[in-house]
Amino acid sequence: MASTLAKTPMSRLTLFSTQYLIQGVVLGLIAEGLTANLKLTGMQASSIGVLMSSYYLTLSLKWLLGPAADSLFRSGAACVKRSLILANIGLAASLFLTAALASRLPPGSLVFLVVCIAAAVCASDVITDALAIADTPPDQRGRISGYMFTGLSVGLAVGGSGSLYLSSRLSFSTIIATAAALVLLQTLTVVCRLPLAHPEHMASAATARTVRPPLHTHLTSPLRILSSSRGRWALLFAFLPPGAMALSMPLQIAFGLDIGYTEDDLADLNLWTSIASIPATLLGGWLADRWGALSTFAWSTLALTLPSAALAILLATVGWHGTQLPNESARHALFLFFWCACLITTLAGSVMVASRSAVCIQLAAVEKHNMATQFTALMALSNLANSFASAWQGYSMEKFGYAPTLAADALFGLVVLAVILHPAIRRTADVPRRRSPSM
């Protein structure tokens, strides 16, 4: 893959962090603002889980755009830049469409609009991730992952807490339209002003065009790579849940409302956890470069299971199953413990996300000509895991209650630790641990 844009450290930092920021705004808006809005209208947790599952399921198909992204990078920097601009415009258009139709459609019909938004996010995300792989030196991939997911954390604070704070003052359609305007603003001020590659890099892109492989080779090569022993273990690593997920999924909103949190309480919680995630994400990227991405991922995944397990034990102890508001003493304990559990989950999860992204980049960088396809396939499986988690957790919480669901979530989250011990993963994902030059 030819390197095309974001040649300087500052341009990399600005482009990748702001691209992930607008994705975070959209995710926060859908996962928290929309979830709280629907929960307050009486929608069941299982239905909310299906709605969020449709969002993540659509993101899990973004690997289909990988071959197009790989071909795109062989067409020169100008083509990459135009495609990124068009992808962001498509995202803004899907948000404006949702703002116009959301209030007129029944809650069940919102799945179509959510899928449209997720499809637009896919196009923007694939190009951004491909740029991150192409333009980032191997010994800086952990830190650039940290910057990217820091932008995502800021976006989650803006889209999640912002929409919850404003929900009592503005209509939800107005909030969605504001998010669309923010996407357009980022496109005009960052992407449109991004300089093209230097002449020598343009020359390398031209050389890449002259040696472009046949289409069937381009499409079958990633399948051949991903079907190898290393590829199968990499896909399994990407698909398994990276630690307990329930307290970082949208269903935490449903849990908070069930124990008596108000929208403002949830907005405060989301804001503080988003603020805490910023230094934690940067720390995760730094640790991935310094100690190794796999080691950082393993320890953070282990830490991520503890809050869910502890909350499950507390729920079983107080005997609350979510059928009615807890009594005053149990409610006070759940209020405080839920806040602490979400904060710890955010800290450990932020470190995990940055290190996991660095592992996936390293796994995808083995085959230079199909980096985008491989990386998007790995990240798409991660979104598929999120989709399954949203669906089964929503059903489980409604059928069996919160305590069994949280306990099962904690156990499932530990399975991935067995996968990273396989030599095929360790040989590929362990990069040399040396001090990186400043970004």
Sign of CA dihedral 436, 273, 357, 155: negative
Q: How far is CA 46 from CA 97, 261, 312, 389, in A?
A: 26, 20, 19, 12
Q: How far apart are CA 112 and CA 99, in angstroms?
A: 13
Angle at 159 between CA 156 and CA 162, to 5 degrees: 115
Is the residue at 2 inside a domain? no
Is the residue at 437 inside a domain? no
Is the residue at 438 inside a domain? no
User: Can you read off the two tokens belonging to residue 26?
Assistant: 């959209």
pLDDT of residue 68: 72
More confident residue, 160 or 94: 94
**Residue pLDDT, tens place only, 141-169:** 667 777 887 888 888 888 887 887 887 78
Q: Is residue 3 predicted with pLDDT exceeding 60?
A: no
Domains: count for the chain: 1
The contacts of residue 304 (CB under 8 Å, 6+ apart) are: 242, 243, 244, 345, 348, 349, 352, 413
Full residue range of the structural domain in which residue 378 is found: 9-429
With H, G, I as helix, E, B as strand and everything else as coil, classify residue 134. Answer: helix
More confident residue, 87 or 65: 87
pLDDT tier at 336 (50, 70, 90 boundaries)? confident
When pLDDT is averaged across residues 325-343 and rounded to a whole number, the result is 77
**Residue pLDDT, tens place only, 370-419:** 666 677 777 777 777 777 777 787 777 777 877 888 888 888 878 877 77
Is the residue at 4 inside a domain? no
Question: 249: domain CATH number?
Answer: 1.20.1250.20
Q: How far apart are CA 329 and CA 327, in angstroms?
A: 6
Among 370, 398, 366, 417, residue whose Cα is nearest residue 222 = 370
Is the residue at 340 inside a domain? yes
**Residue pLDDT, tens place only, 350-369:** 888 888 887 777 776 666 55
Is the residue at 351 inside a domain? yes
The pTM (predicted TM-score) of the whole model is 0.67
Is the residue at 436 inside a domain? no
Q: How far apart are CA 153 and CA 380, in angstroms?
A: 19
Is the residue at 382 inside a domain? yes
The contacts of residue 213 (CB under 8 Å, 6+ apart) are: 221, 369
